[in-house]
Chain A
Amino acid sequence: MKFVEWLSRFGLSDRVVIVIAAVVYAAMVLLVLWFWSEPPAPFRYTEI
């Protein structure tokens, strides 16, 4: 996974990398669920 690979470049231990990645991914998923029903941005790339 690219984010994990990127984090690993900073010389952190594997355990720290996994914890940081898990927190970031969990936050992203929670935010996605939180804003799930917001109206879409006004672009129609799926309709061209």
Chain B
Amino acid sequence: MSARLPMNMDATAPRLTADEKVSGIQRVGRAYRARSLAAKIALVPTILVMVFCFYGSVTWTVYISMTRSFLLPVYKFAGTAQYDRLFATPRWQVAYSNMFLFGALDIIGTLGLGVLLAVLLDRAVRCEGIFRTIMLYPLSISFIVTGLTWQWLLSPTIGVQQLGRDLGWTDFVFDWITQPDRAIYTLVFAGIWHQSGLIMAIMLAGLRGVDREIWRAARIEGIPTWRTYVSIILPMLRPLIVTCVVLIAIAVVKSYDLVVAMTNGGPGFSSDLPGKFVVDFVFERANIGQASAAATVMLASVLAIVSPYLYFELARKNR
């Protein structure tokens, strides 16, 4: 269908003369060059989007974060003034440290459950399809629906606490979602529920790729199954585990919808996260200086996770 589009470059490619057709090599060479122009032109939109929408915008945001911009951008360089203010802002301090707290627990929980599920499914054979389907369906559901669902489950008036009381434990209390010092932990439940299927899928593929000979050798040595996993198989899959950690960590830095739907950053701003801080400061507080500084910190966090990972991945593949 693309051949009929007006941007078809072949129509305008120079026709070959009889002389040029003599040598097959020459013909391919000439045709190749003419047509790779079409390939270059096909890449122009992507490159424009990349340069202007991504790298240009990133540069803009990073630059604004080093000016005194407030409501509107000002372009006079002001060093780290925005960052000094940002890190002196209590709400940012909470959001920033929440990122590490939520991140650590979410990585441990999601990775732990995901790896456990992969190992269990690697052992059990029957009904694997059904188990997989149940473990993976949360991934297809949006963070908004996930967040609302967990908000209802954990709400003291209708959720788990009320269930406990209905069952006869009349002074049962489970109200973390309404406690300023506990709300951030409730996000971890939803995060684990949503993401551990993904880790299971990645790890299970890895486990299935392990050489059967290793299992046979371990059996001959009389090493128990769990020990074989812990000491031999999982260490072999370390690169895959690192990939999983990187994936979850990036998702944590970027998380926004989940906290909006589940706690909306509350009570107060006790469960705020950098992603929500930035959006609120752009659109509600209209303080683009602070928003840009916070966004730059988010970018730096992602780069701090991704850069070493990509570096070692590429080095490993080139070896």
The answer to whether A and B belong to the same complex is: no
